[in-house]
Amino acid sequence: MDPIPQLTDLLGPAHVLTGEDTQRYAHDWTGKYKGTPRAVLRPADRDQLAAVVTLAARHRIPVVPVAGNTGLAGGAYADGALMISVERLNRIREINPRARTATVEAGVILSQLHDAAAAQDMVFPLTFGARGSARIGGVLSTNAGGSNVLRYGTTRALCLGLEAVLPDGRVMDVMSPLYKDNTGLDLKDLMIGAEGTLGIITAAVVRLFPRPRAYATAMAAVESLPAALDLLNRLQETTGGAVEAFEYMPGNFMRHLFRCRPELRPPFAEPHEINIMVEIGATAPRDATPGPDGRLPVVAILEEALAEAMERGEVLDAVVAQNEAQRAEIWHRRELSAEICFSRQPVIDNDVALPLDLVGTFLDRMEARLQEIDPGAETVNVGHLGDGNLHYTVWPATDRPEMKEIIREAVEDEVAALRGSFSAEHGIGLSKLSTMTRRKDPVALDVMRRIKSAIDPQNIMNPGKLIPSGED
């Protein structure tokens, strides 16, 4: 039976897209995953979305949720499936500055939540380069990370409660605004990071934080990654854990950045191999009130720490932002990372997490191994050094289909040897299914499959993503 007439009656013809009208939804940001959805459906609210899923379940039709479609792992690939967009579920229902919470629907764009929180002198601290298009449902479904995980945690740590439509069309309401709710299994955390395989998140209660009264932001060239980690630890001790971002931008990233964007100004007169972007956010008035000399105490703390490290030879050069324009310039360089990493093809993108003190060890081992596997291959790396998340991107010199898996397996080997993770913040989607099969604990995979089967026995909810089938 063709469900399109029923869906059109339910949503209206303007919100049931077929044929050429589906094309802007049919591929991801990278352009790698291109499909042909059976239709793109744009429900206006939770109840319409639940009715769509109920209809799909009745006819055993696969459904794939999509939010901002900014993912990098193929999680919203929807060839032949009904794609359900949450873009019209876009209300910010409440900003509660006293309780420091926001209640938002899944289609709210991340930057819109930033603006709404800022109007109440608060912040929702999740941030990354795609904040102008990524939507709340997507960042929850992938447990997104970003640049401020060091201070505030991943998306999972920022969510208090949520609402989701299950694969049979029922609505699960665990929209608790509570910081403590010890009433059985944590179903909220089960949905976060499930990439839409267990249900479609429609709304959430998220945490807000006081807006920093001042920032101290700098670029520092350091002599080694251990020296960078020492600097981070000293800054954390001095500021009481107020370091918000500590980003690794090595020489290979900077060279490709200025090659792709020659209009940008380099941070230093001379290039360096290990560059760190650091930002401290001051919420206490004592740290954000200018002294008699006009200096902000938080800026003075950062400047003094950098000066002391330069005297020890650990920091080779440093530039501290003196105004908001200079701070924005520093952030702009960092947020171009996805554009730079995907500026060439073929590309092998790896999103790994490592113990903080072993990031350098991984890079050294992988560089040697890469040149054995594919002499002439190039890397461009960038990472959240403060939480051990490294985006290790390879441009292979050998353009053979099998080379991607060979290099990916080598990365997996080195990450596993250092007790790291092959996926830090981008999710699994389609791109890491083979890695999940090879590297995830078999018992953990079995538990995941059992949970999926119990909640979605017809396997209609984003099938083929996140959890390997187990048939190999």
- SS3 for the chain is CCCHHHHHHHHCHHHEECHHHHHHHCECCCCCCECCCCEEECCCCHHHHHHHHHHHHHCCCCEEEECCCCCCCCCCCCCCCEEEECCCCCCEEEEECCCCEEEEECCCEHHHHHHHHHCCCEECCCCCCCCCCCEHHHHHHCCCCCCCHHHHCCHHHHEEEEEEECCCCCEEEECCCCCCCCCCCCHHHHHCCCCCCCCEEEEEEEECEECCCEEEEEEEEECCHHHHHHHHHHHHHHHCCCEEEEEECCHHHHHHHHHHCCCCCCCCCCCCCCEEEEEEEECCHHHHCCCCCCCCHHHHHHHHHHHHHHHCCCEEEEEECCCHHHHHHHHHHHHCHHHHHCCCCCCEEEEEECCHHHHHHHHHHHHHHHHHHCCCCEEEEEEEHHHCEEEEEEECCCCCHHHHHHHHHHHHHHHHHCCCECECCCCCCCCCHHHHHHHCCHHHHHHHHHHHHHHCCCCCECCCCCCCCCCC
CATH code of the domain containing 121? 3.30.465.10
Q: What is the pLDDT of residues 128-149, one digit of tens each?
A: 999 999 999 999 999 999 999 9
Q: How are beta strands 101-105 and 122-123 bridged, if at all? A: unpaired
Looking at the fold, whether 254 and 310 belong to one and the same domain comes out as yes
CATH code of the domain containing 405? 3.30.70.2740
CATH code of the domain containing 315? 3.30.70.2190
Q: Is 62 within a domain?
A: yes
Residue that terminates a domain, selected from 287, 311, 337: 337
Looking at the fold, whether 196 and 113 belong to one and the same domain comes out as yes
Q: Where are the alpha helices (DSSP H) in 201-244?
A: 225-239
Q: Is 448 within a domain?
A: no
Looking at the fold, whether 157 and 272 belong to one and the same domain comes out as no
pLDDT of residue 31: 83
Residue by residue, pLDDT tens for the chain (472 residues) are 799 999 999 999 999 999 999 999 999 888 889 999 999 999 999 999 999 999 999 999 999 999 999 999 999 999 999 999 999 999 999 999 999 999 999 999 999 999 999 999 999 999 999 999 999 999 999 999 999 999 999 999 999 999 999 999 999 999 999 999 999 999 999 999 999 999 999 999 999 999 999 999 999 999 999 999 999 999 999 999 999 999 999 999 999 999 999 999 999 999 999 999 999 999 999 999 999 988 999 999 999 999 999 999 999 999 999 999 999 999 999 999 999 999 999 999 999 999 999 999 999 999 999 999 999 999 999 999 999 999 999 999 988 889 999 999 999 999 999 999 999 999 999 999 999 999 999 999 999 999 999 999 999 999 999 999 976 4
Looking at the fold, whether 114 and 191 belong to one and the same domain comes out as yes
Whole-model pTM: value is: 0.95
Query: For 348, which DSSP code?
Result: E
Cβ contact 114:124 at 8 Å: yes
Looking at the fold, whether 232 and 146 belong to one and the same domain comes out as no
pLDDT of residue 28: 86
Q: What is the pLDDT of residues 200-216, one digit of tens each?
A: 999 999 999 999 999 99
Cβ contact 462:196 at 8 Å: yes
Looking at the fold, whether 110 and 77 belong to one and the same domain comes out as no
What is the C-alpha separation between 25 and 29, in angstroms, rounded?
10
Q: What is the pLDDT of residues 79-100, one digit of tens each?
A: 999 999 999 999 999 999 999 9
Looking at the fold, whether 201 and 224 belong to one and the same domain comes out as no
Q: Tell which residue, 329, 84, 32, 51, has the closest CA to residue 200.
A: 84
Specify the residue for token string 């319409």. Answer: 48
pLDDT of residue 471: 62
pLDDT of residue 399: 84
Q: Is 234 within a domain?
A: yes
pLDDT of residue 472: 46
Q: How many domains does the chain have?
A: 4
Domain around 348:
344-433
User: Per DSSP, what are the bridge partners of residue 16?
Assistant: 41
pLDDT of residue 1: 75
Residue that terminates a domain, selected from 314, 337, 360: 337
Q: Is 462 within a domain?
A: no
Q: Is 452 within a domain?
A: no
Looking at the fold, whether 159 and 97 belong to one and the same domain comes out as yes
Looking at the fold, whether 370 and 421 belong to one and the same domain comes out as yes
Residue that terminates a domain, selected from 85, 110, 142: 85
Looking at the fold, whether 203 and 219 belong to one and the same domain comes out as no
